[in-house]
Amino acid sequence: MAQPTPQHDLDRAAGIEVTDTFEPFAQRNDIFTRAFWDPAVRTARTDAFFASYRMEASPRRGDGFSQRDFALRNASWLISDIMTDRFAEDGRREGFQAAISADTPVAPVQMEIDDKRDMSREIKKIARFFKADLCGITAIDPRWHYSSRVDVRDLSDAPNDLPDDLTSVIVLGHEMDAELVDTYPAATGGAATGRAYSQEAATVMQLAAYIRNLGYEAVPSMNDTALVIPYALKAGLGEYARNQMVITPEFGPRLRFSKIFTSLPLAHDTPKPRGVRAFCDICTKCAEACPVKALPFGPPEVGGNNVSALKGVRKWTSDAEKCFGFWAKLASDCAICMRVCPFNRDFSRWSQRLWLRLALSPLRRLALWLDRNRGGRTKPSDWWSAP
C-alpha cells in the first residue's frame, strides 16, 4: 500500500482527493475554449453571447437585459479586455488563454530575504495595497497546471511554459459587488463579474511588477496557465463547495481568484477546513435553483460526464455544457448558484458571523433552516433606482 506523503496530507487537509485516473487538464477542453472549436458547444447562440460583450448582438428584452444593463456590464470588463487583447494577434489571449506578459524586467540586483515569513507578511500587505481582498500563499504544484494552453489564432495547442525557478504561488481573492450579485441572472450581475476581473488584472500586474523590482521572477495569471481552485484551497483561503466555488469565511462564494507564480522566497499557508463540506452535504440550494440542473445533488464523484470535467479527482462537478448553454441563452453569465448559497452573506456584520459559526458547527441543520427564506433576487430595475 502506498505510504501517505506530505503531498497527500496537504491534499487531504485541502479536501482534494486525487485518484490513479488523474489527468492534467488541457485548456482546449474548458467550456469557453470549446465554444470556439467544438460543434457540441458552438452554436449561433454562443457566437451571439460573445458578440454581446462588444455591444454587437441585440439585447434581449426584459429587466436586466436592456442596452444600459449590457453597457454597464461591458464597461466593467474594459480594463480586463484591454489587457487581454494586447497580444491576441500573437495567439496569446492573456489572463484567459496565456499567462500575462511581464511589462517590466526583473531587477538586476536581488533584495536579500532573511526571513520567508516576514516576506510573506509583506506580500500580503502589498496585495491589500493593490486592492486584493484576500491573499494566501502555497507551493507550486504542477498537477494543476494545464498540460497545454491554446493559441487563439488557430485554436491549436501551445506549450504552457513557465520559468524553471518558480517555487510559490500567491493566490489573490477579489470580492464581487454584493448588490449586483443579488440581481443574477442579468447583465447587471455580469457587471459584478467584469469589475472583479478588471480589478484582478490591475492587481496581479502591479503585485508581480513589485516582486520583479525586488529582483525575483513573477508571472501574473488570471484564469490562464493553471486551475486556481486547488491553489486557493491549498493556500487556506476557503473550502470547495457543491456550486463549484471556493467558500471563504470573509465573502462566502462571492469572489474571483487570481494568482502569481514566483521565485520570491516565501513561507506557505496551510489549508483550513472549517466545515463547509459537511454543510454542503445537507444542502442542495444551489442545485435546486440552477435553471438547467447543471449541478449535482449527490456526494462528490470522480470525474464527470462531459469533456470539460477534470479527470481523476473526486469532487462536485457541474455539467459545463448545460451551464454554458444557459449563459448563451441569456447572453450573459449566470451565478444564481452563487446568489442563493447560504454563505453569500455580509460577514462584516456580527449577526452574519454568528450564523457562520452555527453553519460550521454540528448545529448546521438549524443554520440551513434559518436560511430558508434568503437568496431571493433583487430586480435589476430596483438596483438602478436605489439611491
Residues near ligand SF4, by CB under 6 A: 241-243, 279-280, 283-286, 290, 292, 294-295, 318, 323, 326, 334-337, 340-343
34 secondary structure, DSSP code: H
Q: How far is the CB of 337 from ligand SF4 (least distance, A)?
A: 3
Q: How far is the CB of 147 from ligand SF4 (least distance, A)?
A: 25
29 secondary structure, DSSP code: G
Nearer to ligand SF4 (CB atom), residue 126 or residue 292: 292
Q: Spell out the residues 6+ positions from residue 39 whose beta carbon is closer than 8 angstroms to its own.
A: none
Nearer to ligand SF4 (CB atom), residue 207 or residue 233: 233
Q: How far is the CB of 242 from ligand SF4 (least distance, A)?
A: 4
- Would you report the helix, strand and coil content of the chain in percent, each value rounded to 5? 40, 15, 50
Nearer to ligand SF4 (CB atom), residue 208 or residue 290: 290
Label residue 164 exposed, middle or buried (CB < 10 Å: 0-12, 13-18, 19+): exposed
The radius of gyration computed from the CA coordinates of the chain, to the nearest angstrom, equals 20
Nearer to ligand SF4 (CB atom), residue 149 or residue 345: 345
With contact defined as beta carbons under 8 Å apart, do 255 and 176 qualify? Answer: yes
Q: How far is the CB of 361 from ligand SF4 (least distance, A)?
A: 14
Matching residue, cell 482527493: 17
> In b/e form, how buried is each residue of 54-77, taking b as 16+ CB within 10 angstroms?
eeebebbeeebbbeebbebbbebb
Nearer to ligand SF4 (CB atom), residue 170 or residue 340: 340
Nearer to ligand SF4 (CB atom), residue 243 or residue 258: 243
Nearer to ligand SF4 (CB atom), residue 151 or residue 175: 175
With contact defined as beta carbons under 8 Å apart, do 84 and 197 qualify? Answer: no
CA distances from 254 to 84, 242, 249, 316 (A): 23, 14, 11, 18
Q: How far is the CB of 116 from ligand SF4 (least distance, A)?
A: 34
Q: Spell out the residues 6+ positions from residue 4 whose beta carbon is closer than 8 angstroms to its own.
A: none
Q: How far is the CB of 52 from ligand SF4 (least distance, A)?
A: 17
Q: How far is the CB of 119 from ligand SF4 (least distance, A)?
A: 34
